[in-house]
A = this chain, B = another copy of it.
Amino acid sequence: MGIDGLDGRLIVLLAREPRIGVLEASRRLGVARGTVQARLDRLQSNGVIRGFGPQVDPAALGYPVTAFATLEIKQGQGADVRAHLGGVPEVLELHTTTGHGDMLCRLVARSNADLQRVIDKVVGFEGIVRASTAIVMENPVPLRVIPLVEQAAQEG
């Protein structure tokens, strides 16, 4: 289930320099090309690596404002709310959670003013009782997995 040191080094290498191919990776790692290919195939069928899709920056697309909204949902309306939020492009992510709120979603908007429009679109739905929003000011740690991969590789 876990990953070993070679898997970890491979993932980190690919994360740092995604453009290199299997051959170059095998050179860097000091193993045979077939090995890298086999590891990659395994990591992908394992689900450890979901894919190599392009990482798009919403800010560069014209959506520089990010916010997190905690939503409180009317009992039994969960499915409807999920479907509704799934249809809003500015909702980048949605989780159902324990705790004070019932759901947490990540939003983006073109500006602080535009955020109001997005929030209206999000909460303008009968199943949502209350929403509290936190606007992101700074992002000291952007979404990352490499430290986790390194830790998992050492233990595994």
A residues in contact (CB < 8 Å) with B? 1-3, 11, 14-16, 18-19, 46-63, 66, 68, 70, 82, 85-86, 88-101, 104-106, 108, 132-145, 147-152, 156
Contact = CB atoms under 8 A, between A and B. Distances in A.
Contacts of A104: 68, 134, 136
- SS class, residues of chain A in contact with chain B: mixed
Nearest to A85: B141
A90 to B, nearest CB: 7
A82 B151 contact: no
A98 B132 CA distance: 11
Contacts of A145: 56, 58, 61, 92
Given A104-B68, A148-B108, A149-B61, A135 B99 contact: yes
